Structure 1
Amino acid sequence: MAEVQFVDVKKSFGAVPVIKGVNIGIDDGEFVILVGPSGCGKSTLLRMLAGLENISAGAIRIGDRIVNAVPPKDRDIAMVFQNYALYPHMTVADNMAFSLKLKGAAKEERDKRVNAAAEILGLSHLLDRYPRQLSGGQRQRVAMGRAIVRDPQVFLFDEPLSNLDAKLRVAMRAEIKELHQRLQTTTVYVTHDQIEAMTMADKIVVMHDGIVEQIGAPLDLYDRPANLFVAGFIGSPAMNMIHGRLDPENRTVFVAEDGTRLPVADPGQNAVGRDLVYGVRPEFISLDPAGFPAEVIVTEPTGYETHMIVRLGGGEANCVFRERVQARPGETINLAIDADRVHLFDREAGQRLSA
């Protein structure tokens, strides 16, 4: 196991910069997820760590050595790809043992490591099968087993669950997290799915347009987003954003552009007189007969919860209610907002002012 550090790392393809000075520290044994929309640079960063892409500037450290010029095979890492990358003419056992065979490991050592990894992943009864005889989840476990047998300092995962159906993705999330808890190997995992990031990571790195927007524990990012991008990206349904200003005579009241008055905990003097964005997560909007009116647009009962889209503050807002609400589109309901859960952002700079 080892620490991983990105120190002012940059990457350009020709004249086009795609990684713009990234600094990330990953502790020994930590499970870190790089998350962001397509094109943000997360997979490029992972490929640079793996040695599959050259870096344009900066340094990457694994343990106590800089690996900028170290070939991939000498970096002591193991990578699990999105498409499994299994050899179709080899059995499960042969696929898992192939990297050890290339290194010249003795057959007894190969068998020992393959059997140990198969036991961990529940593959012992499948060792004689070929990839075409396996389900998608089983193939992904074989790819993980191939990484485990190498006993690397760092595991790298490049969107490994993207090809699985929704139910299997949930199961595999738990398996990967349990595997990390058992092996305690430093892990860097790339995904565009913020639910994967929230449920699996010790630490999340949110990326956008080649830069790091925020680094922190999942609930820290959820409760204290640094800016509008993180606030909108982390959380499902996404945080509601309403434009407006504080009431100059009462700074605990936010006045939306359509005149709707919404509550705010004391935001501090620096928020007064600025164009703001009022952010509130859907679960912190509740039904209240004494609250402000809102027109229902869409109702989506899910069983345990009711998701609803309403007209609020000159736009649309998502609400998540624990109750089974029977309101129909076009009807009016009364709502309240937990002022202590409101975030205010500077509209121009995008940075959070308060929470």
Structure 2
Amino acid sequence: MAGVTIQDIKKSYGAVEVIHGVNVDIADGEFVALVGPSGCGKSTLLRMIAGLEPINGGTIAIGDRVVNNLPPAQRDIAMVFQTYALYPHKSVAANMGFALKVARADKAEIDRRVKEAAEILSLTEYLDRKPRHLSGGQRQRVAMGRAIVRDPQVFLFDEPLSNLDAKLRIQMRTEIKELHQRLKTTTVFVTHDQIEAMTLADRIVVMQAGRIEQIGTPLELYDNPANEFVATFIGAPSMNLMYGTLTNGVVNLAGHSVALPGVEGAGQVRLGVRPEHLALSSEGKGLPMQVKVVEPTGSETMVFLTFDGRDVTAVFRERHAFAPGDIIHLTPDPHHLHCFDAATGQRIE
């Protein structure tokens, strides 16, 4: 195994620069997710690590080797793609062992590695089947098994769960996490789904427009977002942002005051509060909001509201008989408030 060091990496297509000097250090054995909206550069960065895209500046090192000019086959990585990319005419065993066969590994060694990977992925009984006789989840396990048998220094995953249904995605998330805990191989995982990133990764790299917005553990990003983009991208439902004016540690929100002790400065701000940190208060207290839609999910109830002409979402674990049009009063938890500069979007400490 080995770590991955990305230093001042740049990527351009003609005159258009799409990756703007990215720096990431991935420790040996760490699981890191690259997350962001479509077009942010996360898959391009992964493909540069793999050697499938040339770089226009900076260095990429795997372990103690700079791999800028090495072809993919010499980088000691294994990649799992969004599409399974299995050979339909080959058996599961033949698909999993194909790369080793091309490398002219000993047949007994190939068989041993394929059987070991099949046991890890619960594929032993399917080794003689063709891909068309497998479910989507089983095909993705075969694709993962093909990577495992190579015993690489680094696993690269490019949105491997996006073609699966919702239930199977949850199951495969668990299986990928268990696989990493067992193998402890350095893993870089690309996804646009922030829930996947939060549940799988040791650390998350949040990207936007070819730049890194913040790097941290899932809970660091959730509890202390560096800016509005990270605040609203990480977490589902998204963080609420309410427009106001900061003066001497107090934010005025449409005529209602919310204290922010210790927050310096003055000016136009956006007050951030997550849906679960809005508590129901008695009439005359808190912020008056109008109910638009109520969505009971069983364990929780999501309530979509409006305040000061903007949408707000609240989540309650208790059962409430809200109806569209009701005016309810909600109080933000003072221990879980976030303040962002309205002009720059950066967090105000």
Q: Same fold (TM over 0.5)?
A: yes
Amino acid at match of 2:215: I
Q: Separation in 1 of the partners of 2:249 and 2:57?
A: 47
Residue 294 (structure 2) aligns with: 299
Aligned to 2:312, the other structure's residue is in SS state strand
Q: Separation in 1 of the partners of 2:147 and 2:159?
A: 15
Name which of 250, 254, 270 aligns with 2:251. 254
Residue-pair matches, total: 347
Percent pairwise identity: 62
Aligned to 2:245, the other structure's residue is in SS state strand
Residue 38 (structure 1) aligns with: 38
Aligned positions of 1:224-239 closer than 5 A: 224-239=224-239
Amino acid at match of 1:301: P
Structure 1 residue 26: deviation in Å?
0.1
Large movers: runs of 4+ above 6 Å: none
Question: Are 2:115 and 1:115 aligned?
Answer: yes
User: What runs of 5+ residues in structure 2 fail to find an aligned partner?
Assistant: none
Q: For the aligned residues, what is the CA RMSD?
A: 1.0
- 8 Å contact from structure 1 (residues 260, 313) kept in 2: no
Q: Separation in 1 of the partners of 2:287 and 2:81?
A: 50
Residue 70 (structure 2) aligns with: 70
Amino acid at match of 2:317: R
Residue 15 (structure 2) aligns with: 15
TM-score normalized by the length of structure 1: 0.96
Q: Separation in 2 of the partners of 1:262 and 1:279?
A: 14
- 8 Å contact from structure 2 (residues 299, 317) kept in 1: yes
Residue 310 (structure 1) aligns with: 305
Aligned to 2:348, the other structure's residue is in SS state strand
Aligned to 1:105, the other structure's residue is in SS state coil
Name which of 240, 263, 275 aligns with 2:268. 275
Q: Separation in 2 of the partners of 1:177 and 1:85?
A: 22
- 8 Å contact from structure 1 (residues 81, 158) kept in 2: yes
The C-alpha deviation readout for 1:164-198, integer Å capped at 9, x for no partner, is 00000000000000000000000000000000001
Structure 1 residue 50: deviation in Å?
0.3
Name which of 322, 339, 345 aligns with 1:344. 339
Q: Separation in 2 of the partners of 1:252 and 1:309?
A: 28
Amino acid at match of 1:325: H
Structure 1 residue 254: deviation in Å?
1.4
Aligned to 1:236, the other structure's residue is in SS state coil
Residue 169 (structure 2) aligns with: 169
Aligned to 2:97, the other structure's residue is in SS state helix
User: What runs of 5+ residues in structure 1 fail to find an aligned partner?
Assistant: none
Residue 135 (structure 2) aligns with: 135
Structure 1 residue 262: deviation in Å?
4.2
Q: Separation in 1 of the partners of 2:255 and 2:159?
A: 42
Amino acid at match of 1:139: R
Q: Separation in 2 of the partners of 1:153 and 1:264?
A: 51
Is the deviation greater in 301-310 or in 181-190?
301-310
- 8 Å contact from structure 2 (residues 250, 261) kept in 1: no
